Amino acid sequence: MTPLLERPWPFPVILALRYLRSTRRDAFASFLSAVAAGGLALGVAALILSLAVISGFQSALRSELLSRTPQIEVELPPGADAEAAHQAVLAVPEVVSAQILVRGGGWLVDQGKVQAVELIGFDGPVPPSFPGAAGKPQGLYVPALLASRWGLEPGQVLEVVSPRPTLTPLGPQPRVRSVPLAGTYEGGRTQEDRERAALPRKVAETLLGNTSRRLEVSAADLDVALDVAERLPAVLPPGSEVRTWQDLNRPLLFALRLEKLVMFVAVSLIVGVAALALVADLALVISSKRPEIGMLGTMGATPAALRQTFVILGGLVAGSGMLIGTVLGVGGAWVMDRFRLLPVPGQVYFLDYVPFLVQAEDLVLVLLLTLVLALASSFYAAQRAASLDPVEAMRR
């Protein structure tokens, strides 16, 4: 192996590498270095794990949520020609499918039991926002939980009631239709989904009239859907409202992002504390090497070269901490996700384990933040070495 001094590396690199080795022999300096590197490793691992758990939940929640909300929802103005709008939307490039829906409030009634529901009338097969029933033929679909609670079987006839009155000789009466149950869908575990019922559009229109009609539009994927949504208003009747999956879930998506940000800032404090330990470590090394630093100055080492030396030394300590932290964080997240080591009750949450998802941009952010903090700390400490007066430094 080529001796260190004979390698064609810049002088500060050579000096920093040798100092890294020598501090390992000094028990107290190596203890402080270990504390700084260990602290950074802990901070990096904690940041990676906490962001991974939030990303994991976000990703699970998003797919759960987005399976129940349309990619694009268009609310047509009253009296608009829904069929014409439907055809116009289908002609827009990158639109994969579009469906006319009628929505409104109502009740399901069975032998004196009543459940308030949002009635959704659709054409063609059941839309994808009814998981477990999507693609099945037309008919009445209710949440599986409701069906089991009421002991409903397919083919059983339910009464669907609308608040929209019909004038009769006896005064206004609610509209009632008897509809046979076609099946159930997985209502999910959120309150909102328990209160929807799908039924054929013709039936829904007789109950609700044709005032509140919507189009649900799908594109190839969520990002394409956002582009498509911008092109839709041009082909729709004036007064139409276009809402994307982002608009529909804005409060939740915002809350998820905010949660992640707050978590990131809070856990970053560990890295901040470790960076302070790095300052202490470098300050100790610099003060124990004062006479040497002075001698290097008399030999012509510039303040910049001395500063670089200790920034590199700090970078080496921090780099080893970051490497360990990354292995711990990414490895830990992978193991816990792969082997589902953190179970949660599936009846309460929509998942039965805590998911971990390490995202590349999170990892880059964590490492960048740690690197910047570590280098800033090293720079601060190294400034002391650079500003030493050689003659003063050599006095013991």
> Which positions touch other proteins (CB under 8 A)?
3-8, 10-11, 14, 18-19, 21-22, 291-292, 294-305, 390-391, 394, 396
Query: What is d(CA 363, CA 287) in angstroms, rounded to the nearest whole number?
Result: 35
Q: β-pairing, 171-185 with 157-168?
A: antiparallel
In angstroms, what is the minimal distance from the CB of 259 to other proteins?
49
Minimum CB distance to other proteins smaller for 40 or for 285: 285
315 membership: H or E segment, kind and range? helix 303-338
Between 24 and 202, CB nearer to other proteins: 24
Q: Which is nearer to other proteins, 25 or 338 (CB)?
A: 25
> From the CB of 380, what's the least distance to other proteins, in Å?
19
Residue (28 or 254) nearer to other proteins, CB: 28
Give min distance, CB of 11 to other proteins, in A: 5
Query: What is the closest distance, in whole angstroms, from the C-beta atom of residue 295 to other proteins in the complex?
Result: 4
Which CB atom, from 299 or from 360, has the smaller least distance to other proteins?
A: 299
Residue closer to other proteins by CB (options 143, 297) is 297
CB atoms near residue 43 (< 10 Å): 27
CB of 394 to other proteins, least distance (A): 6
Distant-in-sequence, close-in-space partners of 395: CB < 8 Å, separation ≥ 6: none
In sequence order, what are the residues at sequence separation of 6 or more whose Cβ sits closer than 8 angstroms to the Cβ of residue 82? 76, 100, 210, 213, 215
Residue (of 216, 189, 180) closest to 76 by Cα position: 216
Question: Minimum Å distance from CB 315 to other proteins?
Answer: 19
CB 121 within 8 A of CB 102: yes
Residues 203 and 183: their CA atoms lie apart, in Å, by 16
